[in-house]
Homo-oligomer: A and B are copies of this chain.
Amino acid sequence: MAKINLNFTKVAQGYFSTEIAKRAKPFLDSHPGVELYKLGIGNTTEPIVPSVVAGLRAGVDKLSKRDTYTGYGDEQGDTRLRQAIAEWYGKRGIVIEPSDVFVSDGAKSDCANITSIFSDDAVVAISDPGYPVHREASVISGKRVVSMACPEKNNFLPVIPKEKADLIYICSPNNPTGTVATKEQLESYVVYARKHKAIIIFDAAYSEYVRDPKLPRSIYETEGAKSCAIEIQSLSKAAGFTGVRLGWTIVPKELQTEDGDTGTLNQFWNRRQTTMFNGASNIAQEGGLAVLSALGQKQTHGQVDYYMENARIIREGLKSAGFTLYGGENAPYIWLRCPQGLSSWECFDELLTKARVITTPGVVFGENGEGYMRVSAFGHREDIEKAVNSIRENFGNQ
């Protein structure tokens, strides 16, 4: 077996959603036709807003006519979209060069592929609990991974490692804990990165769920971040693009490598994307332009409001039933402490078999997630209400 990448044997065989499906199967098999309430995977459920549907339709129409048909675009993304993304940051007081914007087919690909521009002997610090892709992509590429615990006293966000790491994955608003790093916390990460000449990979996929104006939505709100941070964004949760596939990554030319060199990482990522990717779908990119328009922003923010109202219903419903929970105020995830000292998987089984609710065991996000559950606020309102009521009726009074 010498010529296959044995690092694949160091990660579980399936992605966690596969594992959850497997764990739920015996109950489903013995209860055919049972109605399940799904608060597990963070999958969007509401239709794409009208202005963005119009953009996607326009994208298809262009391809149907000789004069407007386009084939290969720039691998880095349509110039108009890169410009619109830079302007979107500009409205938030952040200066981003369009040439530092790389449009992609979503945050998952970029979170994983970004590891390829770093050496295989780089040490990667990942949040525990954290989004599995951060850890697994690093392991598969042969890098050494160190865990950053996310304890309650740190607002369930990562505590910077004592040793030097070369890459640090930070996700805020955090998946899975639904908590958001404060400005001071982001500053502490930037200070650490600059001191250790590390690069922060900032996963901002949930930034549009931040309501509190005091909380940062971009790592670039922190001074000095452009010299040490890559930011990954996604329209999956911001615009219901989980299936459409569109995101972007900012790789500033100011980023410094170990020896103080600048420009290299931007150039390497440009080479990676032009060689190993052929651009996001031009239809999706037309949709992305519509999302970033004034009307698109208004309508998609309205959709985010809808999911955040779901989050409020979950939080208040479960809190009044005696559960202890965190997050969900500036993020679509609620971090629930398992009652009665249950383990994550025990709690999963109880919620499934007693309340017929699917949730995600915190432990699938890392060993420090043990004893917690991630509850997702994505769903139709009536399903969310039914799920909360079912938990209250069948699993409440803790």
Contacts and interface: CB of A to CB of B under 8 A. Distances in A.
A175 to B, nearest CB: 14
A48 B71 contact: no
Interface in A214-248: 236, 240, 242-245
Contacts of A4: 117-119, 257-258, 264-265, 268
Of the four ranges (under 10, 10 to 19, 20 to 34, 35 or more), the interface on chain A belongs to 35 or more
Given A4-B265, A122-B3, A243-B282, A53 B60 contact: yes
B281 A105 contact: yes
Nearest to A8: B268
A236 B70 CA distance: 12
Interface of A: 1-6, 8, 11, 13-15, 18, 41, 43-48, 50, 53, 56-57, 60, 63-66, 69-73, 75, 105-106, 108-109, 112-113, 116-122, 132-133, 136-137, 140-142, 166, 236, 240, 242-245, 257-259, 261, 264-265, 267-268, 271-272, 274-284, 378, 380
Given A64-B48, A142-B120, A275 B133 contact: yes
A278 B3 contact: no
A133 to B, nearest CB: 6
Contacts of A284: 281, 283
B257 A1 contact: yes
Contacts of A133: 275-276
A69 to B, nearest CB: 5
A98 to B, nearest CB: 17
Given A279-B243, A284-B281, A271 B3 contact: no
Contacts of A47: 63-66, 69
Given A72-B242, A73-B243, A243-B281, 11 more contacts: A1-B258, A4-B268, A5-B117, A5-B118, A8-B117, A43-B71, A113-B276, A120-B120, A245-B278, A245-B279, A245-B282
Contact of A283 (B43, B240, B244, B267): B244
Contact of A116 (B46, B140, B258, B378): B140
Q: Is the interface of A mostly helix, strand, loop or mixed?
A: loop
Nearest 6 CB-CB pairings of A with B: A71-B242, A112-B276, A243-B282, A43-B71, A15-B274, A53-B64
Contacts of A132: 275
Contacts of A121: 2-3
21 contacts: A1-B257, A3-B166, A3-B258, A4-B257, A4-B258, A5-B116, A13-B267, A14-B271, A15-B275, A43-B72, A48-B63, A53-B60, A56-B60, A105-B280, A109-B276, A109-B278, A133-B275, A133-B276, A137-B276, A245-B280, A281-B281
